[in-house]
Amino acid sequence: MNRVKRYDPDKVFDVVNTIVMVILFLIVLYPLFFVAIASVSDPNLVNSGKVILWPKGFNLDAYQHILTNANILNGYKNSVIYTFVWTAIAVCVTVPAGYALSRKDLPMRKTATMFFVFVMYFQGGLVPTYLVVKQLNLLDTMWAVILPTCVSVFNLIVCRTFFEGTMSDELLDAARVDGVTNLKYFFQIALPLSKAIIAIMILFYAIQQWNSYFDAMIYLNSKDKFPLQVVLKDILIQAQMNSSGAFGDAESVAAMQRIAELVKYSSIIVASLPMLILYPFVQKYFVKGIMIGSVKG
Partner 1 sequence: MHKGHPIKKKRWRNLDLYLLLIPAIIQVLIFRYWPIAGIQIAFKNFSAKKGIWGSSWVGLKHFMMFFQSYNFWEVLGNTLTLSLAMLLFSFPIPFLFALFLNRLMNARFKKVLQTVSYAPYFISTVVLVGMLYSFFSMDSGLINLIIGKMGGESVNFMGKASCFVPLYVGSAIWQTMGYNAVIYIAALTNVSPEIYEAARIDGATKLQSILHIDIPALLPTMLILLIMQLGQIMNIGYEKVYLMQNALNLSSSEIISTYVYKLGLQQARYDFSTAVNLFNTVINFILLIIVNRVSKKASGSSLW
Q: How far is the CB of 285 from partner 1 (least distance, A)?
A: 12
Q: Are 250 and 236 in contact (CB under 8 A)?
A: no
Please identify, using beta-carbon distances, which residue of 25 and 84 lies nearer to partner 1.
25
Distance CA 260, CA 246 (A): 16
Please identify, using beta-carbon distances, which residue of 77 and 124 lies nearer to partner 1.
124
Please identify, using beta-carbon distances, which residue of 9 and 179 lies nearer to partner 1.
9
| Closest of 167, 153, 161 to residue 204, by C-alpha | 153
The angle at the Cα of 254, spanning 54 to 270, to the nearest 5 degrees, equals: 40
Q: How far is the CB of 2 from partner 1 (least distance, A)?
A: 18
Q: How far is the CB of 76 from partner 1 (least distance, A)?
A: 13
| Closest of 269, 265, 276, 215 to residue 235, by C-alpha | 265
Q: How many CA atoms lie within 13 A of 145 on its CB side?
A: 30
Please identify, using beta-carbon distances, which residue of 13 and 58 lies nearer to partner 1.
13
Could you give the C-alpha distances from 178 to 130, 182, 183, 210, in angstroms and in order? 49, 12, 14, 44
Distance CA 116, CA 112 (A): 7
Please identify, using beta-carbon distances, which residue of 67 and 132 lies nearer to partner 1.
132
Please identify, using beta-carbon distances, which residue of 6 and 121 lies nearer to partner 1.
121
Q: How far is the CB of 41 from partner 1 (least distance, A)?
A: 13
Contacts of 11 (CB under 8 A, 6+ apart): none
Cβ count near 167 (within 10 Å): 19
Q: How far is the CB of 207 from partner 1 (least distance, A)?
A: 6
Q: Dihedrals φ, ψ of 248, to 5°? A: -155, -170
Q: Are 206 and 81 in contact (CB under 8 A)?
A: no
Q: How far is the CB of 85 from partner 1 (least distance, A)?
A: 15
Please identify, using beta-carbon distances, which residue of 70 and 245 lies nearer to partner 1.
245
Q: How far is the CB of 67 from partner 1 (least distance, A)?
A: 19
Could you give the C-alpha distances from 110 to 16, 98, 159, in angstroms and in order? 51, 13, 16
Please identify, using beta-carbon distances, which residue of 34 and 63 lies nearer to partner 1.
34
Q: Are 86 and 216 in contact (CB under 8 A)?
A: no
Q: How far is the CB of 193 from partner 1 (least distance, A)?
A: 16
Helix, strand, or coil here: 246?
A: coil
